[in-house]
Structure 1
């Protein structure tokens, strides 16, 4: 399994880290990577409490103006860049961001930020990739990644609560029927990233609780997800005006497209 443990790894000089280089090479080859111990488990447990305090009204088994049904009993909702859920340690986690900027480039942006909710009783999700292939051309599968999804579960993803099944290498092959997927266990504090072209699917939630997963779409500056935000009432990024003003200089490139859009 394409997995790397960052427990105890210093955040200094991550751009030159051999571990980041290895994760980049694995992501490029397999179309996904799992990063363990990038957020303290106690932080995730606090975020889990915060999520249910602030977003409990959006946990419902029907699509609303501010949500998108992405499978039976599965919904995508936006998250605000506020509180712990909207803290830099989440949307700009140093380990994740170092890898994202290696995979994409230093000017990579956050195209969308939210959560995927798998309700109790959610069944197997349809197998899909997150965006269409560029230019509808097979040569696009040979190109470097142009967008990727970051998923940070707020409860452990496992056989009971469900996980994200992934088809390694499918971002290059353009098919998934010839192999069995991986169904990794992702403990709290760990995350998973996958290429926008990689086939994946949420597995059933057999537990009695909601499985929230914080997600972010990172992309090259010129790319915007053309599929998941066709509904005008569903927001990609939600923040107050002073959020952009107060951003540290090293994080400003993540929102360069939003700043220029006014």
Structure 2
């Protein structure tokens, strides 16, 4: 397992950026050799997904959400047990956090701008207030993200204000969408409530972005989970078993749903 790269002061600084801006970026953090293997293994999964349910277009035209199977190469503890990422997860959503999502978002040529949205509603919408973080998305691309191939755009600081207020301030020009350009190996850690959108991929090469979800232990979102083969679960480290403890254990990955359950995604 890779040793922790950042000291406590640096971890605190990254965590404060997430609290203030809604996200932070760890540059050159994951092995590009590892991500190249992921990219090659992902290509047939994307093809099969498009053949099976591409007509649903639930993420917009030519944009696909694909859950990754919890097996090699994706069930990689060097990624989901990364010491720095977990230090930030614990700092932001608690020492007893759970890992609840392992998936990808991929725009292709022909994709378009998404509506500006959040990935989760506030916990108490009737109160009109926001809370400290309760779910994080750990995003990292399998290719370099450029202005041409569909960068994620985010509005800083909107995770801590009501969505309607954020949209109003965005429309007035007081705040703005900013593209987040990432190299393969960079890692973005974000509060899922920040306003954001996907943008068009104007190239002929898919732009897969991995998302690993970590949340507070009491947060249950039935539309996202990781199906874990029993043999794989038994071989996990004690920490990994704890992180993954609320996910379904299956005898075979053939038992997973035939169609993605996570269809409604924008809040």
Place the TM-score, normalised by the shorter chain, in its bin. Answer: 0.7 to 0.9
Deviates more, 1:132-141 or 1:69-78: 132-141
Shift of 1:135: 2.0
- Are 1:97 and 2:93 an aligned pair? no
Question: In the alignment, what sits opposite 1:188?
Answer: 184
* TM-score, length basis structure 2: 0.82
Pick aligned residue for 1:83 from 72, 78, 85:
72
Change (3 A) 1:18 1:204: same
Shift of 1:150: 1.4
Question: In the alignment, what sits opposite 2:147?
Answer: 159
Change (3 A) 1:254 1:26: same
Change (3 A) 1:250 1:212: same
Pick aligned residue for 2:136 from 148, 158, 163:
148
Q: Which runs of 4+ in 1 moved over 3 A?
A: 59-64, 137-140, 259-262
Q: Hey, what's the Cα distance between the residues in 2 that align with 1:171 and 1:54?
A: 32
Deviations 1:159-207 (A, max 9, x none): 0111110100001122141311110210000121211211011111011
Q: Hey, what's the Cα distance between the residues in 1 that align with 2:95 and 2:215?
A: 11
SS of equivalent to 1:194: strand
Please, which runs of 5 or more residues in structure 1 have no aligned partner?
1-9, 230-234
Shift of 1:51: 1.2
Deviations 1:92-116 (A, max 9, x none): 3222122111111111111221111
Q: Hey, what's the Cα distance between the residues in 2 that align with 1:173 and 1:125?
A: 21
Pick aligned residue for 1:215 from 211, 215, 223:
211
Deviates more, 1:109-118 or 1:85-94: 85-94
Question: In the alignment, what sits opposite 2:3?
Answer: 11
Q: Hey, what's the Cα distance between the residues in 2 that align with 1:100 and 1:253?
A: 14
